[in-house]
Amino acid sequence: MKRSAIKRRPLADTVLDSLEPETSEYRERDGDGLYFRVKPDGSKSWQLRYKNAESKWSWLGVGGYPEVSGALARKRAGELREQIANGIDPLKERQEAKRAAEESEKKRFRVVADQWLETKILQGIVAIDAIRTYLDKDIYPAIGDKQLDDITRGDCAGIQAGIEAREAFTSAKKVRGWLNEIFGYAIAKGLTENDPASRLASIAQKIPESKQHPHLLEPELPDFIRALRASGSRKTCLTAAWLCLWTASRPGVVQLAEWSEFDLEDALWYIPAVKMKKRRDHLAPLPRQAVAALKELQLLTGKSRWLFPGIGWRNPTICENAICGVYARVGYKHRLVGHGTRHTASTLLNEYGWNEKWVDAQLSHKVKGVQGVYNKALYLEKRREMMQWYADHLDALGDGKVIPSVGHRRIAKD
């Protein structure tokens, strides 16, 4: 109905339902300072007009319609008028409550940790996916919605103990470091003086002596190569698994590989220092098999930043366990992991007499002296030859053309 057709006040429910919008917003008086507002888009709400302590007229929202009916709006308006009569300004109270809520939100752990993570992303930190995983899995469920000042040492110790209970001792150490950084960031921002994540190392369980990552020796490789060739895994994950084999690269580096790092014509992969464990730039030669596989993959993911994009907006790349998953699905669970391919390559190359320095350079092991600092392309041409031999040897093993034996060693000098 048109507003001009209103015949009585307070406004009847039928009037509230049928009032039509106009080109401009308008208000219709209901009674005792209560008004019914109608916007051009058809949305409707209640407002109370009152004089504040400074004798200035103000509008105060009472609720949207139809959620707040006429009867409920009149009841709320009566309660608000009673507060005003007692010298309370409800609008000012609302504004102060909103400011307090905003200040409280700024100091909620989850909000601060997300801001800290954004700084890590801008710094190009490699382990962003791992950090986010542990935030979501272990940290946020425990303290994510708590105020910084309310988090105790017991809370942080409990997070550490929970991860250690899974025997993930290295992960517990990393999480301890991230918690320290988050609270340090919050202190630096002036959000808290509370530092409950300090001293956690004093009660941490001792990390057991490291064991070699599960890896394969030459007699096991023929069946494995044939199984991997027959894998039904997604192309992105499968290619990543092969790239680990062909280059003996760390799986975390493979996971985060970007197309801008590759020169397929020159068969080279340039890995920036920020992604490397030793924080040194690294050049990895690509055997022909890798170049062919990557050119094929480029047709699928070449428009992405990443060689191996993940699924969904929260996963820019495949997850850190995707490569292990490929090996597990072809029957090698607990027998080979992504990092284990480095042990396999090192063992095989050394057994066949390839120069130890070339092998170490391929694996990006630390080289002593000035050469280790400045020579990014250490033994590059020699490593091209070595890694092409290695890829060919893996093919031959899969084809059954090479008898698994270390009887014929290749002698290679500097």
Q: Among all residues, which ones are annotated catalytic?
A: 250, 277, 339, 342, 365, 374
Strands, E, within 160-300: which ranges? 262-263, 268-271, 282-285
- From residue 131, give the alpha-carbon distance in Å to each of 125, 161, 174, 251: 10, 18, 9, 16
Q: In what order do the strands lie in the sheet with 268-271?
A: 262-263, 268-271, 282-285
CA 265 – CA 247 distance, rounded (Å): 17
The amino acid sitting at 117 is: L
Task: Give which of 71, 11, 5 is closest to 37, Cα–Cα.
Answer: 11
CA 126 – CA 256 distance, rounded (Å): 8
Q: Which residues of 171-206 are buried (b: 16+ CB within 10 A; e: fewer)?
A: bbbbbbebbbbbbebbeeeebbebbbbeebeeebee
